[in-house]
């Protein structure tokens, strides 16, 4: 009688109940809340347009990530897990840049060579200054991003272990990794041209 009813028809039950997937969803939600709080604080303290340009790309990516993580299609979820892993790497690069570049000239020059990546780092320290709220939100976002990166990789490995069509999932995961980099670079170039023509 109930043989044709399943909790999630498009994916295995193990993926639905995966602790890795729940951790990725919670981490993405924390990241989105931190970005929302940073946007409100920046808009209230300075210019709402500048806050939108700074926090808008990251907020949009996090909202898209949350939406895709709750979808049932395996390819959409694999894409979201790739996005989560990439965004976590960029956020942790921001922490490494802020902490390590003060202690070593070699690391300072290394991060100077990777200077283009500075433009796509999370905007907390870059726009909110050295306030206590900026430091708190930055560390909250960094910890949640680390959890997001680990849980995204763990969830994808579990999904890949249970899936049948592995090639499609790998392609979606790889596309998800490149998506945040492309989107952030596009927004960075648009912001650069905007400020160039309005100064």
Average pLDDT for 101-124: 57
Angle, helices 132-162/166-197, rounded to nearest 10 degrees: 150
Name the strand (E) or helix (H) holding 53: helix 48-69
Is 6 contained in some domain? Answer: no
Q: What was the pLDDT predicted at 30? A: 94
pLDDT of 141-153, one tens digit each? 888 988 999 999 9
Specify whether the CB–CB gap between 53 and 191 falls below 8 A: yes
Three-state secondary structure call for residue 7:
coil
Tokens 């990725």, located at residue: 24
Q: What is the CA radius of gyration of the chain?
A: 19
Specify whether the CB–CB gap between 138 and 122 falls below 8 A: yes
Is 3 contained in some domain? Answer: no
Q: Which of 8-22, 30-44, 106-120 has the lowest mean pLDDT?
A: 106-120
Separation of alpha carbons 42 and 37, rounded Å: 9
Is 7 contained in some domain? Answer: no
- What is the tally of structural domains in the chain? 1
Range of the domain at 186: 13-197
pLDDT of 45-95, one tens digit each? 877 887 787 788 888 889 999 999 998 888 899 999 999 999 888 877 766
Above 80 in pLDDT, residue 103?
A: no
Is 2 contained in some domain? Answer: no
Is 5 contained in some domain? Answer: no
pLDDT of 74-86, one tens digit each? 889 999 999 999 9
Q: Is 13 exposed, middle or buried (0-12, 13-18, 19+ CB in 10 A)?
A: exposed
């Amino acid at each position: 009688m109930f043989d044709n009813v399943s909790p999630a028809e498009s994916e295995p039950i193990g993926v639905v109940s995966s602790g890795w997937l729940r951790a990725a969803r919670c981490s993405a939600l924390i990241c989105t809340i931190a970005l929302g709080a940073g946007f409100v604080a920046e808009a209230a303290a300075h210019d709402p347009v500048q806050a939108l340009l700074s926090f808008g790309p990251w907020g949009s990516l996090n909202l898209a990530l949350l939406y895709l993580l709750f979808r049932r299609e395996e390819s959409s979820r694999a894409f979201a897990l790739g996005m989560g892993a990439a965004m976590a790497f960029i956020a942790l690069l921001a922490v490494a840049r802020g902490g390590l570049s003060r202690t070593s000239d070699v690391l300072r020059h290394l991060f100077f060579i990777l200077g283009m990546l500075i433009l796509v780092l999370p905007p907390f320290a870059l726009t909110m200054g050295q306030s206590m709220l900026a430091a708190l939100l930055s560390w909250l976002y960094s910890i949640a991003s680390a959890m997001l990166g680990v849980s995204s990789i763990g969830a994808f490995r579990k999904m890949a272990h249970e899936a049948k069509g592995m090639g499609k999932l790998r392609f979606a995961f790889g596309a998800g990794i490149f998506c945040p980099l492309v989107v952030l670079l596009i927004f960075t170039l648009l912001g650069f041209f905007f400020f160039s023509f309005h100064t």
